[in-house]
Amino acid sequence: MLRIRNKNKFTKRILMLLLVLVCIIGVLWFVISGIISLFNKEDEDTMEDIQGMQTLEETNNEPEVTNEVMQVSSNVGINSEELNQWNLKLVNKDNSVDSSYVPELEEIDDGVMFDKRAITYLKEMINAMYKDGITAIWVASAYRSYEKQEELFKNKVEYYIEQGEEQEEAEKLAQTVVQRPEMSEHNLGLAADFNTVTNEFEETKAFQWLQKNAQDYGFILRYPKDKQDITGITYESWHWRYVGEEHAKIIKENGYCLEEYIDYLKGAEEV
Closer Cβ to Zn ion, 115 or 193, answer by number:
193
Closer Cβ to Zn ion, 86 or 165, answer by number:
86
User: Dihedral through CA 214, CA 215, CA 216, CA 218, nearest 10?
Assistant: 100
Please give the Cα distance from 186 to 183 (Å, whole number): 9
Residues within the interface to Zn ion (CB under 5 A): 193, 239
In whole angstroms, how close is the CB of 38 to Zn ion at the nearest point?
49
Residue nearest to Zn ion (CB): 239
DSSP 115-181: ETTTHHHHHHHHHHHHHTT-----EEE----HHHHHHHHHHHHHHHHHTT--HHHHHHHHHHHS--G
Closer Cβ to Zn ion, 78 or 189, answer by number:
189
In whole angstroms, how close is the CB of 220 to Zn ion at the nearest point?
13
DSSP 202-256: GGSHHHHHHHHHGGGGTEEEEE-GGGHHHH-S--EEEEEEE--HHHHHHHHHHT-
Catalytic option among 82, 150, 171, 236: 236
In whole angstroms, how close is the CB of 177 to Zn ion at the nearest point?
10
Closer Cβ to Zn ion, 89 or 239, answer by number:
239
In whole angstroms, how close is the CB of 191 to Zn ion at the nearest point?
5
* Residue 166 is a catalytic residue: no
Residues assigned a catalytic role: 236
